[in-house]
Amino acid sequence: MRREETFFSGKLKAGIISSVLVGVVCGLVVMANVDLNPVSEVRGWQMIDDWKWLGEGDPGAGASGILEVFFINHSATNAYTSFNTSATLEGWCTAAGLGYAEADDFNLEISYDVVFDIVVKVRVNKTHCWNGTAFIDAYVRMNITSTDLGISADSAMEKAVLYNNTGQDFIWLMFYYDFSDSGTSISRDETADITSIKLEAYY
């Protein structure tokens, strides 16, 4: 059964700056392995209940979710993929007059005409990306939709692995959308909706 829930929404606003309204539908979607002895149960892409908005917290055994969403100044080399410390990314956002979200409801002020990328840091537990001996980051993906920002429905975000240690029960991944290596910006008094960000897993 497929179900979608709104886990966070918010507004990026900029006094004399511009504003971006962010209303995001988030969910962890899973796909079952091929069953060589199928039963009557329907398998396929489905929502699961242990997706969580994490902030900087531990979601608990078996659960996965988003750590933070960053509206970060554009990097032609995607330099942010080398950082796994949220404080570093937060400082980068703040210095550029942009912002980040680490709670399920937020209002952010950002500078207009500052070119930015959208970056999402996630934690995924063994339940969703483990093959029995190793973490397989290819089992996890993230899609984003924002007509106002020119992002078509369920566009794939690019991925970088921040932390993968088989001695732990989780990995950290960074997903980013850099608008074809060009970044994007919003004008003074402009608003834009981000319709959805979807964290998905295949298992």
The pLDDT of residue 17: 43
Burial class (CB in 10 A: 0-12, 13-18, 19+), 100: buried
The pLDDT of residue 43: 35
Q: Where are the domains of the chain?
A: 5-33+41-202
CB 125 within 8 A of CB 65: no
Q: Give the C-alpha distances (Å, rounded to integers) separating 140 from 25, 84, 109, 193.
A: 17, 18, 31, 25
**DSSP three-state, residue 59:** coil
Residue 59, by phi and psi: left (phi above 0), alpha (psi -120 to 50) or beta?
A: alpha
Spatial separation of the C-alpha atoms in residues 62 and 50, rounded to whole Å: 7
CB 187 within 8 A of CB 14: no
Spatial separation of the C-alpha atoms in residues 147 and 192, rounded to whole Å: 8
The pLDDT of residue 82: 85
Q: Give the C-alpha distances (Å, rounded to integers) separating 173 from 66, 68, 127, 179.
A: 10, 11, 15, 19
Spatial separation of the C-alpha atoms in residues 128 and 165, rounded to whole Å: 15
Token reading at 199: 């964290």
The pLDDT of residue 58: 62
Blockwise average pLDDT, block size 10, the chain, 203 residues: 36 48 47 34 38 56 80 91 86 92 70 93 85 90 90 94 91 94 92 82 75
